[in-house]
Amino acid sequence: MAERIGFVGLGIMGKPMAKNLVKAGYDVTVFNRSSASIKELVADGATAASSASDVASKSDITVVMVPDSPDSEAVVLGENGLLAGASPGDLIIDMSSIEPAISQRIHAACADKGVHFLDAPVSGGEPFAISGDLAIMVGGNAGDFERAQPLFGIMGKSAVLCGESGAGNVTKLANQVVVGANILALSEALVLATKAGVNPETVFNAIKGGLAGSNVMNAKAPMMFGRNFAPGFRIELHYKDINNAAKTANDLDLPLQLTAQLQQVLKALVGWGEGGNDHSGILSYVEKLSGVTVTNK
C-alpha cells in the first residue's frame, strides 16, 4: 500500500509541489495558515487538515515547506505541531531553507520520539516547483533518503544525499551564495554593457555559450533586460538565506567576503521596498549606484 503523504506549507513553492504529489496519485493531506491554498488543493483532490498535528496523525510521510527556521520549529515542535500527531516510524521531510543548526535540533527532537527526519531544501524557484524539476539537497539517514526517493522523483529532477542531518541546508546555503554572487556579477556586466552603448541582450547572446554561461545567466538575464521582476524567487527570501549563510559562517569562524557583500546588497533592496521582487532585481541595486537602466530597447 502506498504511503500516506502530508504536506504543510502551501506557499509559492509548497503549493505546486503538493499539487504534483496529488497529480501523481498520492493520498495527500494538507494544512496551511491561509485557507485559500487549502481549498485549491482540496479541489485538486487533496484532503484538508485542521492543524499540523492533524496532518501528521493522518500521514506516514509529511513534507514541510515554510519560509524560515522559526517556522520550521513551530510546525514540527510547536503546540499542535507535527510531533504532537506523529507516530514512531513516521518520516518528516523539511524542504524549507533554514539554518543547518536548526535542522539538527529538529532532527534530535524527532529522534527522541522515534520519528525519522530529513532536511531537504530545494533550488529552482517557482517555475521548477511547478514543472517538478527542482534540485533537492538532502541531509539525514541513507535509509530515510531511499524511502523518500519516490516523492523526490515527483517534485524534483535530482536529489542528492549530502551527508548527515543539516548537510542538506549547508549545501543549500552554498547554492544560494553562488546564485546570488552570479546575479550580482551579471548585473554589473549588463550595466557595464549598457553604459558603453552595447545592447545587453546582444552581450548575453554572445557570452552565454562560453565560460561565463550558466543556468543563472540563462534564467535571469532575459528578466533583467526585459524588465520583468515578477517573483520566481523573492529577494526577501534570498536575503533570509544569505543571513543564514552569514550566521553559519560566523559560527564556524569563517570570513566570507562575497557573502557579506551580498548580504548588504540584499538588505538595501529589502529596505527600499523591493524585497517582493524576483532576485533578478538585484540589478536594481547596481542601477541605482550607477544611474544606468538596463534594457534591450
What is the tens place of the pLDDT at every residue in 93-107? 999 999 999 999 999
Do residues 137 and 120 touch, judged by C-beta distance below 8 A? Answer: yes
State the catalytic residues: 172
How much of the chain exceeds pLDDT 70, in percent?
A: 100
Confidence of residue 2 (pLDDT cuts 50, 70, 90): confident
Q: What is the mean pLDDT of residues 197-206?
A: 97
| 26-30, 123-127, 177-181, 252-256: least confident range | 123-127
Note the pLDDT tens digit of each residue in 108-133: 999 999 999 999 999 988 889 999 99
pLDDT at 232: 83
Confidence of residue 55 (pLDDT cuts 50, 70, 90): very high
pLDDT at 14: 97
pLDDT at 297: 79
Q: What is the mean pLDDT of residues 175-192?
A: 97
| 120 backbone dihedrals φ, ψ, rounded to 5° | -145, 60
Q: At what angle do helices 283-290 and 257-271 cross, to 10 degrees?
A: 80
**Identity at 260, one-letter amino acid code:** A
Domains along the chain with CATH numbers: 5-164 (3.40.50.720), 170-290 (1.10.1040.10)
Q: Please list the alpha-helical segments (H only) found in 196-282.
A: 200-207, 215-225, 235-251, 257-271
Q: What is the pTM of this model?
A: 0.91
* Neighbouring-strand partners of residue 64: 8, 94
Q: Counting Cβ atoms within 10 Å, is residue 222 exposed (0-12), middle (13-18) or buried (19+)? A: middle
Q: Please list the alpha-helical segments (H only) found in the chain.
A: 14-23, 35-44, 52-57, 69-77, 82-85, 100-112, 125-131, 142-155, 167-195, 200-207, 215-225, 235-251, 257-271, 283-290
Strand 134-139 with 156-163, pairing: parallel
pLDDT at 125: 85
Do residues 139 and 169 touch, judged by C-beta distance below 8 A? Answer: yes
Say which residue the cell 541513507 belongs to: 142
Return the ∠ at Cα 87 (arms to 81 and 90), rounded to 5°. Answer: 90
CA atoms within 13 A on the CB side of 235: 28
On average, the pLDDT of the chain sits at: 96
Q: Does 1 have pLDDT greater than 70?
A: no
